[in-house]
Chains A and B, each alone.
Chain A
C-alpha cells in the first residue's frame, strides 16, 4: 500500500469517502483502490447508500447529502470536477440510448471532439458496432433493437468516450435472465481488455460472482448466506485502508 502514498497510482482511488444524510451515516469512511482492469463490486440492498456513493462518484449527488473524501482517477483528483470532465464512463440500469438518434449516431455522439475527421469518426463507430456483433446496424432506430443488442450498444457508447474508469450501475438487472450471462461476459471482457478500473454497484450476488473481483458490502447485510468467494471478501477488507491521503504531485 505504500506506493499509493508516493506515486500517483493508475486506476480509480477513493480516499476517506463518507456520506451523511440528515445526520445518518449512509457510507462510513471508506477508502478503496481499483486497479486498471479490475472490477470491484459494491453490494448492498436498496436504500443502503450504494446509489448515493455512485452519485458521489458521478458528481450528481444531491446537495441534501454531506459528502467528504476524494476521488482520484489515474492520479488526477476529480472530486470537484463536473461530470463531463471526470472522464468516468457510466453504464446505467437502463441503456439510455437517445431515442431521437440512430444507433450509429448514438455511438458518434460519444466519440470525443478531439477526433476531428469525419471519416475517422465513422470508422471508430463502425469498429465499435462490429465489436458488438452489430455490423450494419448504424442506420437502425434504437427502439427496434432487442434488449441484448441495446445493452451492447450502450457499453460501446460508454467506451467510445474514452473513459479512464467505468461505473456500472446495476446494468444487468433489467435484462432477461438468459441474457444476463452473455452481457456480463461482454461487459467484463471489454473492461478487462481495455484495462479500465471498474466499480460495479449491484444487489445481485450473481453479478459480484461473475465480476471476479473483490466485494465490498455497504449498509445492513442482505438476508441469506454470503455467496461471493471468501477470498474476495477478504481482499476487499484489506482495501478498506485507514486514512491514507495520497499526495498529488
Chain B
C-alpha cells in the first residue's frame, strides 16, 4: 500500500503538468480543433510578435526577474555575512515567519498603499519634509522601470531565501568552520563569505531558481505593482488568455511557450554565472585575511533588512487603517474620522470568497499532508534512501511558469468534464502546496528517533497504530506547521484559481487582485487584510495548539 504513494504523487503532479505544457504548445503552432485551429504553422507567433509593446514586455520580464533575484540573494548573503554572530540573527527566524506567511498579493497591495503618491509614506513626511499639500503627480506604483514591482517581489523573496539559508546553515557545521577561518586571521564577514557561503549555496540553489522563475512569471503581484502598458510578458499573456476574442488564444499560447523558454534560458544564464563565479573569485578566496572589522557593513545590512521588514509591516498596517477610514485628507498622517461601516457593509460579501478560500486551502493542505506523510513513511518503512534526485521533481511546479501549463491543463479538464469543479480547483492548488508541505515536513520526519517506532511496534504489533498513536503525535508540531504553510500557499494562489476554477470560483486573492486596480482603497484594504489574516491565523494556531496540548509535557518542548 505504502509503495503506491510516490507513484500516485508523481501521477498527480508531473503527468498533468507535462500534459498541460503539451496542450499549451499545440495551439501555439495553430492546432486547436475546438476553436477551429487545424492549420499548423507559425501564424500565432507572428501575431504574438506583432503585439504592441511586445519587446518591452520581454525586456521588462527579464530585467525585473534578474534584478529581484540578484537583490534578494545579495541582501540575504550580505545580512548573513555581517550579522551571523549576533543575537538579532538568532531571532531572525521568529521575526521573519509572519512575513513568510503573508500572501504575495497582500504584501504587494500593502506596499502600493504605502508608497503611492497619496500613500502613507508620503503623508508621514508631508508637508513637513516635502512641502506637498496635495499628492505629487508621480508614477511610483506601476512605474515604467518596474522598480516598485521588484521591491514588492523582494519583500516576499528575502524572507523566503533567508529561511532556506537558515535551514541550510543547520546542515553544515558552520560554527566550527567559522572559528577555524577566523583563527587564521579572517574577520567574521570575510570568514562567512569565504568558507560558509560556498558550502551552503548548493543547498539553496533550487530555492534561488524558484525565486528567479517566480519573479519572471508571477501575474498577481505584477497586476498590482508592475508597469501596465506594456506589462511584463506573463501579464500580457494572461490578458490575451482572458480576451473576449477567442482567436487571441493562439498567440497567447505562443506567449506562454515563450514565457517557459525565457525562464529556462535565464536559469541557464544563472547556472553559467554559478559556474563562472568561483573561477573569478578564486584569487580573492585565498588572498589572506585582513584584520578589518565591519561595523559599517553591519549597520548597512541591518538597515536594509530592517527596511524590508518595516515596509512589509507598515504596508499591512496601512491596509488595516484604510479599511477603517471614513475621511482622510491629504497630507494628514491619520484619518480624520474612523468607521466600522465598510466592514459591516462587506461582511456578507466576504463570506463567499472567504469560505471558498478556507475550504480550498484546508483541503489542499490536508491532501498534501496525506501524500507527504505517505511518501515519507514509505521511505522509512521500505528503507529507500532520501531521494535527492526527487528534489528536482518536487521543485518542478515551482520552476515551470504557471501560465505555461495552466491553459493546457484547463483544456484537458474540459475534456474530462472537470473544469470549474472543486476537484479541479483543489488539484490545481495542490500542485503548488505539496512541494512546500513536503519540504517543510521532510527534515523533521527524517531526523525522527526510530527507536520510538521500534518499541511501539514491539508493544502494539500494528504499524498503523504505531503510526497514528506514536509517530504522528510526536511529529505533531512540524506536521501542524507544514499544514499552516500549505494553507498559506493555497490562500495566495491566483492563476490556478482562475484557470482550473473556470471562472466559477472567487477567492479572497482573486477579489483582492481585481479590486486593487479599482479606486476604493477601503474595500481593497478589507479583502487584502482578510487574505493576509487567514494564513497568519493558521500559523498562530499551528504554534499555539501544540504548546497548549502539551503544556504539561516538558519533553515535547
Residues of A participating in the B interface, judged by any CB pair closer than 8 Å: 58, 60, 82-90, 92, 94, 96, 98-101, 105, 108-115, 118, 121, 157-158, 161
Contact = CB atoms under 8 A, between A and B. Distances in A.
Nearest to A107: B286
Contacts of B290: 113
B198 A100 contact: yes
Most buried by A among B182, B184, B198, B278: B184
30 contacts: A58-B179, A82-B182, A82-B187, A82-B293, A83-B182, A84-B185, A84-B289, A84-B291, A88-B183, A89-B184, A90-B179, A90-B183, A92-B176, A94-B176, A100-B198, A100-B199, A108-B288, A109-B184, A109-B286, A110-B288, A112-B288, A112-B289, A113-B185, A113-B287, A113-B288, A114-B288, A115-B288, A121-B286, A161-B183, A161-B289
A96 B177 contact: yes
Nearest to B286: A108
B182 A84 contact: yes
B481 interface: no
Nearest to A106: B286
B184 A161 contact: yes
Interface in B166-195: 176-177, 179-188, 191, 194-195
A96 B176 contact: yes
Interface residues of B, number: 28
A59 B77 CA distance: 25
B285 to A, nearest CB: 7
Nearest to B291: A85
Interface of B: 176-177, 179-188, 191, 194-195, 198-199, 278, 282-283, 285-291, 293
A110 B184 contact: yes
B200 to A, nearest CB: 10
Contact of B194 (A60, A109, A111, A112): A109
A125 B393 CA distance: 44
B286 A99 contact: no
A101 B281 CA distance: 12
A114 B185 CA distance: 11
Given A85-B291, A92-B176, A98 B183 contact: no
Given A82-B293, A94-B176, A100-B198, A89 B183 contact: yes
Most buried by A among B179, B180, B282: B180
Which DSSP category, helix, strand, loop or mixed, fits chain B's interface?
helix
Contacts of B191: 84
A96 B183 CA distance: 12
B288 A84 contact: no
Given A88-B183, A111-B288, 16 more contacts: A60-B179, A82-B187, A83-B183, A84-B186, A89-B183, A92-B180, A96-B176, A98-B195, A99-B199, A100-B199, A105-B285, A109-B181, A109-B184, A110-B288, A112-B289, A113-B288
A101 B180 contact: no
Contacts of B184: 84, 89, 109-110, 157-158, 161
A121 B285 CA distance: 13
Nearest to A99: B199
Contacts of A83: 179, 182-183
Most buried by B among A60, A85, A109, A158: A109
Q: Which 9 A-B pairs have the closest CB atoms?
A: A113-B288, A108-B286, A100-B198, A83-B182, A96-B180, A161-B184, A90-B183, A84-B182, A110-B184
Contact of B183 (A84, A94, A100, A113): A84
A34 B449 CA distance: 46
B179 A105 contact: no
A108 B286 CA distance: 5
Contacts of B289: 84, 112-113, 161
A118 B289 CA distance: 15
Contacts of A110: 184-185, 288
Contacts of B194: 109
B181 to A, nearest CB: 8
A115 B285 CA distance: 15
Contacts of B283: 118
A84 B184 CA distance: 7
A89 B289 CA distance: 14
A85 B195 CA distance: 18
A96 B191 CA distance: 14
A83 B185 CA distance: 8
A58 B183 CA distance: 8
Given A83-B182, A84-B182, A101 B177 contact: no
A167 B285 CA distance: 25
A101 B176 contact: no
Contacts of B187: 82, 84
A113 B194 CA distance: 15
A105 B186 CA distance: 15
Nearest to A157: B184
Contact of B286 (A84, A101, A158): A101
